[in-house]
Structure 1
Amino acid sequence: MKVYLVGGAVRDQLLNLPVKERDWVVVGSSPDELLQKKFRQVGRDFPVFLHPETNEEYALARTERKSAPGYYGFSCDFSKQVTLEEDLARRDLTINAIATDEQGQLIDPYNGQQDLKDRVLRHVSPAFVEDPVRVLRVARFAARFHYLGFKLAEETRSLMYTMVKRGELTHLVAERVWQEWQQSLEEKNPEQFIWTLRSCGALGVILPEIEALFGVPNPYRYHHEVDSGIHSLLVLQAAVALTNDPIVRFAALVHDLGKALSPMDNWPSHHGHEERGVTIIQSLCTRLRIPNDYRNLAVMVSRFHLNIHRLFELQAVSIVKILEQSDAFRRSSLFYNMLIACQADAEGCGKTVNYHQSKLWGYLLTECAKVNTKAIVAQGYEGETIKQVLHQRRVACVELILNSWKANEK
């Protein structure tokens, strides 16, 4: 029995990056032998075991053969005769198909080290086309390593295009699509996930809601980048600079989905795209089973982003109405995250902006929240009247702040 460190741990060591977790391959062993050594089996479809002391994953070396369409259409051989080279051959990219033995010697049968040096994402073998998840994984690695200068090999892009044309991506399950997309949102360049999928024709299959934005024009006076798809990716990049929170980044990316449904006769105007976007976001989140915390913020940003931008044009009563409709007084953290996404939207318009709206909206919320409901009750108000008086006092609070701000501006 021989044990090898494989995959991401070896790759990240060679890139001088922190190693977050280590995976091992066991050659020349069997499930019974590992169980006797007190390993705990966790894999159902193929033998994966947890080390009794380190809790790290150890998998028996295996080969995979395509036996049916889709993600699960594989038959596996994990007998003792499977070699390390055969196990590495089934991996997606050459940079992930490098191993080290117990003495620290590198085993690199598919030239992964050279591709690391050349900053290339390249498939290991033609068998790449057998697993549709690999298209998503390559896009995620593009998002992860773009800042290091990694590019996708054209022959790999060609294989991904072939997979799209064959319809392999229609077999992807919603949970896996979201898993890879969500992980990409945590990377330094999540926009590369979208660009990579689009470059091989996969975006229209996997995320048609985003693909539909490309080619939809924006008014030049607001958007120097003009194209709605490009704008959305610029907004995502701006969000990356503002926050590490993938929930905010997601909301920033999808805030303009409603523009894809704007009547072409009205282009480049997109009146009403906010509520149209809410409908699309709800459908997208249901289809991919995206968690509610992502859904809730994305819906809020889509619905309110134009009014957030137009703060200095609004009357006090409208401002309070927005604060109340967005539930800002009860869910202030959600509101503040919306402000971050809206700032990203403003900064993703192809021009430099000073987004004073964010600070002032935050101040208005803080001051309006100080209006004391208990004091209103103590003054003898009852029932619906309490709500009305609370609203009126919040409006008065906002008017006072706006008058002070306008005086300072003069």
Structure 2
Amino acid sequence: MVGGAVRDRLLGLPAGDRDWVVVGATPEDMAARGFVPVGRDFPVFLHPETHEEYALARTERKSGRGYRGFAVHAAPEVTLEEDLARRDLTINAIAAPAGWSGAAGEVLDPYGGVRDLRAGVLRHVTDAFREDPVRILRVARFAARFSDFRVAPETLELMRAMVEEGEADHLVPERVWQELSRGLMEDKPSRMFELLRACGALAVLLPEVDRLWGVPQRAEYHPEVDTGVHVMMVLDMAARLDAPLAVRFACLTHDLGKGTTPADVLPRHIGHEQRSGRLLKGLSERLRVPNECREMADVVAREHGNIHRSGELGAAALLRLLERCDALRKPQRFAGVLLACECDARGRLGFEDSPYPQRARLSEALQQALAVPTAEVAAEAAAQGAQGAQVGAWIRRAREQALAAWLRGADRSTA
């Protein structure tokens, strides 16, 4: 057994899927025992009963640029130590025999993974690390997962060298998004982006995010001042509130436009919401971000300022805000939008535990608008001779009236 299942069990964490390496076998041997081949680029098989993955021990040799630029050699003479040498981090290069009791003394650990687990260090196994640029993203993701671990200085230096050599330029969008999305879901997602920035990869992969550091904001609203610092605080607040992926991606991208604010108007960022929306579109297309994530992020980028100020809005303006957010058709997405806005408001120095009444207020406003019996209103409109868009106007007016009545009641209850 190799990889994450061994690492996590040694750390006392719940172990996920188990992966196995098979030494001294051929694909024909595996097929004869009923294993089902599934690997496209190298020999991987599914166990006929448990469906766990079993891979033949293999070595890899660099043959080109990027993620797929490898020649793979799998043969019975490849040793377990040779297989472990091609892995990314020492903590992922530990093997345990079948029937392992969980004791550290029973594992095969040729590269000091147990030592680094105990010391809390993320360290590359061998210089072969430099052959796969995806490993830059993986180290950053593990930094977000194990937030109390430090990256070995020699590993960080190697990551910097890889970026300078242009390896990060050859990462395919699907792998970048796969690792970024997993990193966003870790307990301390800010560490992923801080490490990518430290090695220079963030400027290559997400220049729209990278340029936010050093951009000042108005201190009366943002005591942390720096926009990049703020976005990282928002991300970590999303993790604290256990937000789903679409919300976390919206938190990452909500302020992209502040990176393009003209220097002569700083620290004010008038119009940054619309600029954020335009930059988000390009970023999402480049990384092939799923529609669910990009659509929620677009609403948050364009409307978070209006949502923050929604306590000042009357019935007509509230309804327009709900319509712009498409909340009446997609109430579940709107709930995520409001959560992202709460993360934005609380992701500021000194505001981490502050209430965010806008979320509950707009949730209730949406329920009031949805409670309008649209079929009855449409029937009455038709009886009065209304047709087409006129019927829609009747429904809209009924919703505005419902919101106005609700606001009057809310005002009386707080008077």
TM range (shorter): over 0.9
What is residue 124 of structure 1 aligned with on the other side? 125
Tell me the alpha carbon deviations over residues 190-247 of structure 1, each in whole angstroms, 9 at most, x when there is no partner.
1111111011111101111110111111111111111111111111111112234111
What is residue 394 of structure 1 aligned with on the other side? 399
Which secondary structure state, in structure 2, belongs to the residue aligned with residue 218 of structure 1? coil
What is residue 13 of structure 2 aligned with on the other side? 17
Tell me the alpha carbon deviations over residues 314-358 of structure 1, each in whole angstroms, 9 at most, x when there is no partner.
232111111122211111001111000000000012122221111
Q: Aligned equivalents of 2:99 and 2:391: distance in 1?
A: 75
Which of 73, 97, 101 is residue 97 of structure 2 equivalent to?
101
Q: How many angstroms does 1:390 deviate by?
A: 1.9
Residue range with higher mean Cα deviation, 396-405 or 171-180:
396-405
Q: Aligned equivalents of 1:14 and 1:302: distance in 2?
A: 42
Identity of aligned residues (%): 49
Which secondary structure state, in structure 1, belongs to the residue aligned with residue 146 of structure 2? helix
Tell me if structure 1 keeps the 8 A contact 2:377–2:398: no
What is residue 372 of structure 1 aligned with on the other side? 373
Q: How many angstroms does 1:103 deviate by?
A: 5.3
Q: Map of 1:207-356 to 2, 5 A cutoff?
A: 207-352=206-351, 353-356=354-357
Give me the TM-score of the superposition, normalised by structure 2. 0.95
Q: How many angstroms does 1:74 deviate by?
A: 1.4
* Alignment: residue pair count: 404
Tell me if structure 1 keeps the 8 A contact 2:300–2:341: yes
What is residue 54 of structure 2 aligned with on the other side? 58
Q: Aligned equivalents of 1:329 and 1:392: distance in 2?
A: 14
Which of 71, 76, 79 is residue 80 of structure 1 equivalent to?
76
Tell me if structure 1 keeps the 8 A contact 2:189–2:235: yes
Q: How many angstroms does 1:363 deviate by?
A: 0.7
Tell me the alpha carbon deviations over residues 225-280 of structure 1, each in whole angstroms, 9 at most, x when there is no partner.
11111111111111112234111111111111111121111111111111111111
| Equivalent AA in structure 1 for residue 215 of structure 2 | V
Q: How many angstroms does 1:175 deviate by?
A: 0.1
Tell me the alpha carbon deviations over residues 361-408 of structure 1, each in whole angstroms, 9 at most, x when there is no partner.
011110111112222223224222222222222222222232333334
Which secondary structure state, in structure 2, belongs to the residue aligned with residue 58 of structure 1? strand
Tell me if structure 1 keeps the 8 A contact 2:243–2:339: no
| Equivalent AA in structure 1 for residue 133 of structure 2 | P
| Equivalent AA in structure 2 for residue 396 of structure 1 | Q
Q: How many angstroms does 1:102 deviate by?
A: 3.1
Q: Aligned equivalents of 2:329 and 2:75: distance in 1?
A: 58
Q: Aligned equivalents of 2:326 and 2:93: distance in 1?
A: 50
Q: Aligned equivalents of 1:219 and 1:407: distance in 2?
A: 35
5+ residue gaps, structure 1, are none
What is the Cα-based RMSD across aligned positions, in Å? Answer: 1.2
Q: How many angstroms does 1:22 deviate by?
A: 0.4
Q: How many angstroms does 1:281 deviate by?
A: 1.0
What is residue 30 of structure 2 aligned with on the other side? 34
| Equivalent AA in structure 2 for residue 53 of structure 1 | E
Which secondary structure state, in structure 2, belongs to the residue aligned with residue 77 of structure 1? strand
